[in-house]
Chain A
Amino acid sequence: MILLDQRLESSLESVDHSEERAVALAQESGFSEEETYRLGYAVREALVNAVVHGNRYSANKVVHFKVIRTSRAIEVVIEDQGSGFSTDMQGDPLAQENLMNQSGRGLALIRAFTDEMQVERTTPGGTRVILRKFLPPQAG
């Protein structure tokens, strides 16, 4: 079931608003306070990546934001219209030599706070990130 399907402006205001929507949908789906926080955190990081690194705040580009509830999970799809990136090129932010880098931790945190994460290149250009968080047993 599609809970939300929106095209967002490439702005931090969009990020704030959409994070709030994702948090509300997670609460409605029966997630605990802590799991709701974790999903909201992952959604925010993925949206910031799309707006800042993908679309580079361009007024001509949108972020496609979709929240789906399946029988086993909440699935969040975030797609930008940027030039894409490779997760391999990011460097491991948890490696000793990278610990003092100012940036590059977003994907590691998304991975830690969700049950599944997929990153795909899209055509003609862009990145699609799919996050899944399994529903608590009683909500499944």
Chain B
Amino acid sequence: MSVKLITRQVGDVTVIDAVGRITLGEGSSTFREIVKDLVNKGNKKILLNLAEVSYIDSSGIGELVSGFTSVSNAGGSLKLLKLTKRIQDLLQITKLYTVFEVFDDEAKALASF
């Protein structure tokens, strides 16, 4: 299964609810295109909800980093919401916990922008 990404607007923050696997190929390119499209439209406050993401491979991790960089370069921020234990582990191993702002609570995440 690939990833399904559903965007919703909460105030000036765009929340992306992701479901499935973010892996090399369709999954990671779908994420890249959505982030690029949002930045091009001027949506620079992005909250990526990973509660329903069961798996991210190294290519998917690379896309998260790339998305973070492109949003930051445009003057915005990309933050992460509700990581599963496995995704927390991946961020620990790759030391990306030091890069991303991560939240468990959506209201707190939205208020942080």
A interface, CB within 8 angstroms of B:
12, 37, 41, 44-45, 48, 52, 93-94, 99-103, 105-106, 108-109, 112
Contacts and interface: CB of A to CB of B under 8 A. Distances in A.
Given A12-B24, A37-B86, A105 B99 contact: no
A102 B57 contact: no
Interface residues of B, number: 22
Nearest to A12: B25
A45 B94 contact: no
Interface of B: 23-25, 55, 57-59, 61-63, 65-66, 68-69, 86, 90, 93-96, 98-99
B65 A48 contact: no
B66 A45 contact: no
Contacts of B59: 48, 103
Contacts of A52: 24
Counting from the closest, the 10 A-B pairs by CB-CB distance are A102-B62, A105-B58, A106-B58, A112-B93, A102-B66, A103-B62, A94-B95, A12-B25, A105-B94, A109-B58
Contacts of A101: 62, 65
B57 A45 contact: yes
A112 B98 CA distance: 18
B95 A99 contact: yes
A94 B94 contact: yes
B62 A44 contact: no
Given A93-B94, A100-B99, A105 B61 contact: yes
Contacts of A48: 24, 57-59
Nearest to B64: A102
Contacts of B99: 99-100
A48 B62 CA distance: 14
B93 A109 contact: yes
Contact of B62 (A94, A105, A112): A105
Contact of A108 (B24, B63, B68, B94): B94
21 contacts: A12-B25, A37-B86, A41-B55, A41-B57, A44-B23, A44-B57, A45-B57, A45-B58, A99-B98, A100-B68, A100-B69, A102-B62, A102-B66, A103-B59, A103-B62, A105-B58, A105-B62, A108-B94, A109-B90, A109-B93, A109-B94
